[in-house]
Amino acid sequence: MLAKTLSSAVIGVDAYLVEVEVDIAYGLPNFTIVGLPEASVKESKERVKSAIGNSGYTFPDDRITVNLAPASIKKEGTGFDLPIAVGILTASKLISKEIVSRYLLLGELSLDGRIKPVTGSLPMAQSAKQAGYSAIIVPYENRREASVIQDIQVLPVKTLSELVDFFRGHISIAPEQADISRIFERGDEFDSDYAEVMGQEHVKRALEVAAAGGHNLIMIGPPGSGKTMLAKRLPSILPPITFDESIETTKIFSVSGMLQNDQALITRRPFRSPHHTISDAGLIGGGHIPRPGEVSLAHNGVLFLDELSEFKKHVLEVLRQPLEDQKVTISRAATTITYPSSFMLVAAMNPCPCGYYADPKHECCCTAQQIQKYRSKISGPLLDRIDIHVDVPAVPYKDLIVQKSAETSGEIRGRVTKARFIQSERFSQTAIFANAQMSSRHIKKYCQITHDCHSLLESAVDRLGLSARAFNRILKISRTIADLAQSSEIQMEHLAEAIQYRTLDRGKYHQHG
């Protein structure tokens, strides 16, 4: 007797449909799974056998063959347990073939017949909808995540026996409904605010410019000057995440198994802060079965690298491709997977190993050679991809005790959101969404400057010895500052402020030779 059920598996962040064919034939008892199953799929034989028996059904004493089609793609994960078990019960004539064929099934079985959650239920629900299915059956814990996909019924189940009773018409299962507006309600509530930060007004301004144009930023300053604290508050001034961005980001967290049980969607821009001991596979993604790395988990948000000079040099070098392409491609013998990785890079570093080089209050005890070695970990090509460099000096005592109220994150966020809206209108006919992504062609078109501005820029380029790439960066930043001021033209003051954000090009950090 042959039966078919439908399931799904994930490649990268997208799901594809898998047809689970079950054939029960007379012969010596044997249970075989074919169709390139990984170890976790092969082990499902024991889980399925125990779950069927412990749920009160008879496991057939015949020759059982399970084929996972398409057979040319490797199958991994534990989500095939439920469709295999349902296929066996359908082939045993306990359930009607016609009813089973209407649903896409996924779930891991425990030995007592309970259905456990799986990773990737959101992209799987999306693929079921695209294939024209009207309903998907998911583990109870995955119900909220899968239900954000509209126009497909999501039926949550807790046990195998409950699902069999549903298929036999003994009970009904209420579909899970997601209220998208309620999910997004708390997306703009943050625990920390820039109003709590004393002093450092010029750094807050640099972070505002970075947020408004999607620019990468590096902060340089002594220990304890507030670099990490300032960076951690950055998500509170970024524009609210859109529904489409939220789906994209949630898919990455879903396939990584990093969504909490009660979480339906990622409603805030992610903020990822990996430790400096991270490997290149941890940062970029990879492994025997490729998984998204930190650069993909930071998609549509912020990747914060604290103590940048402490990261291994080869780990930092792998950042160059995602910063340039907004995606990461991982190649393995069996497959090539592409993960999205459009993020803002924010880095913090000390100016030297002791942290006090060029600090007026403390004497630096590092030699020129030590400073050179410390800085050389960050290559020129990587620094070239960072638009804004900003000094973060130690906060003076008078700024720490001052009682005046600072600007809140909400006020800054309002200006950032308006500037982003101007950019979305400007680039509506292109794939670009922020000034930081402009190419030379766009810079020529949108960053035209007056004769006076040309004179200022020329003297800055000559005096600081700026590269052509740094020249383009200054024009991009000027465009963002003009957008924040809601000015259609780049004015002299916009350009002058942009030049201030190229600290590492100026002489201050090159005196040691």
What does the DSSP assignment read for 281-350? Answer: HHHHEETTTTEE-HHHHTTTSEEEESSGGGS-HHHHHTTHHHHHHSEEEEE-SS-EEEEE---EEEEEE-
The confidence band for 507, taking pLDDT boundaries of 50, 70 and 90, is very low
Q: Which domains are assigned to the chain?
A: 2-178 (3.30.230.10), 194-429 (3.40.50.300)
Would you give the distance in Å from CA 70 to the centre of its chain?
Answer: 29
Output the pTM of the full model: 0.90
The answer to whether the CB of 213 falls within 8 A of the CB of 497 is no
pLDDT in tens, 116-149: 999 999 999 999 999 999 899 999 999 999 999 9
For the record, the structure tokens of 82 come out as: 């439920």
Percent of residues, the chain, with pLDDT higher than 70: 96
Q: Which residue has the tokens 């079950």?
A: 22
Phi, psi of 447 (to 5 degrees): -120, 40
The answer to whether the CB of 390 falls within 8 A of the CB of 502 is no
**What is the rounded distance in angstroms from the CA atom of residue 332 to the CA atom of residue 290?**
8
Which among 183, 185, 204, 209 has a CA at the least distance from the CA of 193?
Answer: 204
Which among 7, 84, 105, 9 has a CA at the least distance from the CA of 335?
Answer: 9
**What is the rounded distance in angstroms from the CA atom of residue 265 to the CA atom of residue 156?**
17
For the record, the structure tokens of 490 come out as: 């780049």
Mean pLDDT of 396-407: 72
- SS3 call for 466: coil
Maximum average pLDDT range among 75-79, 342-346, 378-382, 443-447: 342-346
The answer to whether the CB of 18 falls within 8 A of the CB of 69 is yes
On the question of a cis peptide bond just before residue 381, with omega within 30 degrees of 0, the verdict is no
The confidence band for 235, taking pLDDT boundaries of 50, 70 and 90, is very high
Percent of residues, the chain, with pLDDT higher than 90: 63
Which among 295, 276, 274, 272 has a CA at the least distance from the CA of 284?
Answer: 295
What does the DSSP assignment read for 21-76? Answer: EEEEESSS-EEEEESSB-HHHHTHHHHHHHHHHHTT-PPP-SEEEEEEESTTS-B-
> Is the pLDDT score of 506 beyond 80?
no
**What is the rounded distance in angstroms from the CA atom of residue 138 to the CA atom of residue 146?**
8
Count of CB atoms situated within 10 Å of the CB of 184? 17
Q: How many helices (H) and strands (E) does the chain have?
A: 23, 18
For the record, the structure tokens of 493 come out as: 């003051």
> Is the pLDDT score of 265 beyond 50?
yes
Mean pLDDT, rounded, of the chain:
90
Mean pLDDT of 330-351: 88
The answer to whether the CB of 7 falls within 8 A of the CB of 105 is yes
pLDDT of 211 reads 97
Count of CB atoms situated within 10 Å of the CB of 420? 22
Q: 124-128, 196-200, 406-410, 507-511: lowest mean pLDDT where?
A: 507-511
The three-point CA angle 82-87-90 to 5° equals 125
The confidence band for 458, taking pLDDT boundaries of 50, 70 and 90, is confident
Q: Taking each helix axis as running N to C, give the angle between helix 409-426 and helix 468-484, from 0 to 180 degrees, rounded to the nearest 10.
A: 110
The confidence band for 376, taking pLDDT boundaries of 50, 70 and 90, is confident
> Is the pLDDT score of 359 beyond 80?
no
